[in-house]
Structure 1
Amino acid sequence: MKLSSNALKWIAMVTMLIDHTGLVILQYWLAYGESGGALGDFLWTINPDTLGNVAYGMRILGRVAFPIYGFLLTEGFLHTRDWRKYCLRMIVFAAVSEIPFSLAVYNGWIGGSRNIYVELAAGLVMLHGFKKAEAYYDARRNIYMALVLAAACGFTWLMDSDYGAGGMLMIAAFYLLRKDRTARVAGGCLVSFADTLGAGMGAGALAAVPLLMYSGEKGRQGNKYIFYWFYPLHLLVLFLIRLLVLNIPMMWGTVG
């Protein structure tokens, strides 16, 4: 079985939705929920330990999403005709997504970290820096690449982006090992394993399964902006469910 890039995007979207549902709905309910309304009354009947295990399992499964997005980012960079337009698109959606991200994850207008598009935009700038460094065939090449990687990691640390330096290292591995598919997937997913080891039992490494099935083809094309808009819209919808259906107001705090 082979998977196109569009199929990988759908896998990433579905696992991300599962992850964020576990966080935005279930974990907030466990922290602040009260009976009331059909959904609230139903959740109230479930043993909290069981519900907690379900939420944790959903979050574990969600660790698959970001490695896929990081891999597809490198693919997009390698095939795009204009990396600047690609990066500008990421920046625009980073701005669009910041408030929905903060509302959903941090239960406030300003969150403790930045959304995934900030990480992806920084990753694109880093990949452009790598490409420029590859023009050199002496010691400067490795020096420039190391400086580019350090700058990207430093930027994500300063911005407190969602995946930080670990995300930059993962994207770098997917790009620098691109000449060998197995090594490429293994390298990026090994970084993801280490990055998710503490909070997610290393479940990021599970992304290796769909990535090794990647065919290198785009697959059936639809409206590409569906994939871009899904991120802020699903976060906003989950926040509104929590606020209006579960009646958990913003003032009740954060579990993010």
Structure 2
Amino acid sequence: MSRSQLKMLAVITMLIDHVGAIFFPSVPLFRIIGRLSFPLFCFFISEGLLYTSSIKSYLTRLFFFSLISEVPYDLAFHGTVYYPQSQNVFFTLFLGLAAIAILHTYLIARPAPAVLLAVACALLAEVLHTDYGWFGVVLVIIFYCFKNYSTRGMLIFTVFNTGYSLLTGTIKLYAALAGFPILAYNGKRGKWNWKYFFYAFYPVHLLILYLVHKVAF
């Protein structure tokens, strides 16, 4: 699978997940299918670090979309424009990127501070109550650390996801299925290069789902 195909799979499964969460919360199939999306997005954060021409611009872009996604996220899932107890997933991905950017830049020269700062990013995600919290940041780190060992990386991901799922909710076990399309990834960009589409889709689709739910119910 190409990068664009894998991203489209992530977007589609995310949409299915959010439709289920907002409209059909008692139907688990939507959430099961949706478990594939988050590991795929974490994988792309680690891939993006390798392909970006500017880590600073990449971080800035993620943080910008974190900010503009917060109101649609709060409206869609909490029915209010401001819900400080939960932050959208872009914040998690931003902190995941920050963690691997630190490791990428400083791990060889200054290993102890680099590891401590990466851990701090995971802890900050938990303190801020970002979607998926520390787990999401660590997942990005896992994909980054095993970028050259795909099979081994998927095994570590599966074990890590299984342990986390048994502690927090067994439906998350299905996220391990994301390992199959990731292993099928061929490293090529693919036909589509809709970079900003994938960023904008998150806040836009949440706002649309909120409005449809508001009108329908």
Please tell me the TM-score bracket, short chain as reference.
over 0.9
Q: Quick one: which amino acid aligns to residue 105 of structure 2?
A: K
> Aligned partner of 1:223: which letter?
W
- Determine the C-alpha separation between the residues in 1 that align with 2:6 and 2:165: 20
Which has the higher mean CA deviation after the structures are superposed, 125-134 or 190-199? 190-199
1:74 aligns with 2:72: no
- Matching residue of 1:108: 80
1:62 is aligned to 34
Work out the CA distance in 1 between the residues paired with 2:70 and 2:24. Answer: 22
> Structure 2: how far apart are the matches of 1:121 and 1:187?
22
Query: How does 1:23-62 map onto structure 2 within 5 Å?
Result: 23-27=21-25, 52=26, 55-62=27-34
The 8 Å contact of residues 139 and 157 in structure 2, kept in 1 or not, is answered as yes
In the TM superposition, residue 79 of structure 1 has moved relative to its aligned partner by 1.4
Q: Within the alignment, does 1:214 sit opposite 2:185 as a pair?
A: yes
Which residue number corresponds to residue 20 of structure 2?
Answer: 22
Counterpart contact for 2:103–2:115, Cα < 8 Å: no
| 1:110 CA drift (Å) | 1.8
Shift of 1:231: 0.5
Question: 1:174·1:187 contact (CA, 8 Å) conserved in 2?
Answer: no
SS, match of residue 86 in structure 2: coil
CA distance in 2, matches of 1:171, 1:132: 16
1:98 and 2:70 are equivalent in the alignment: yes
Match of 1:47 in 2: none
**Count of residues paired in the alignment:** 214
Contact 1:170 1:189 survives alignment (8 Å) = no
Whichever residue aligns with residue 95 of structure 2, its letter is A
Do structure 1's residue 205 and structure 2's residue 176 form an aligned pair? yes
Whole-angstrom CA distance in 2 between matches of 1:4 and 1:190: 26
CA contact (8 A) 1:185 1:208 kept: yes
**Normalised by the size of structure 1, how large is the TM-score?**
0.79
Please state if 1:153 is matched with 2:125. no
1:109 shift after superposition: 1.4
Aligned equivalent of 2:137, options 162, 165, 168: 168
Counterpart residue type for residue 170 of structure 1: L
Further displaced range: 4-13 or 178-187: 178-187
Q: Is the 8 A contact 1:171 1:188 kept in 2?
A: no
Give the TM-score normalised by the residue count of structure 2: 0.93
C-alpha distance after superposition, 1:23-79 (max 9, x if no partner): 11122xxxxxxxxxxxxxxxxxxxxxxxx2xx2111121111010000011000011
Number of the residue aligned with 1:179: 148
User: Do 1:166 and 1:191's aligned partners in 2 also have CA atoms closer than 8 Å?
Assistant: no
How far did residue 133 of structure 1 move?
Answer: 2.8
Q: CA RMSD in A?
A: 1.5
- For residues 195 and 234 of structure 1, the distance between their equivalents in structure 2, rounded to whole angstroms, comes to 28
Unaligned runs of at least 5 residues, structure 2? none
Q: Whole-Å Cα distance in 2 between the matches of residues 193 and 13 of structure 1?
A: 23
Preserved contact between residue 98 and residue 118 of structure 2 (Cα < 8 Å): no
Name the structure 1 match of 2:213.
242
Gaps of 5+ in 1: 28-51, 247-256
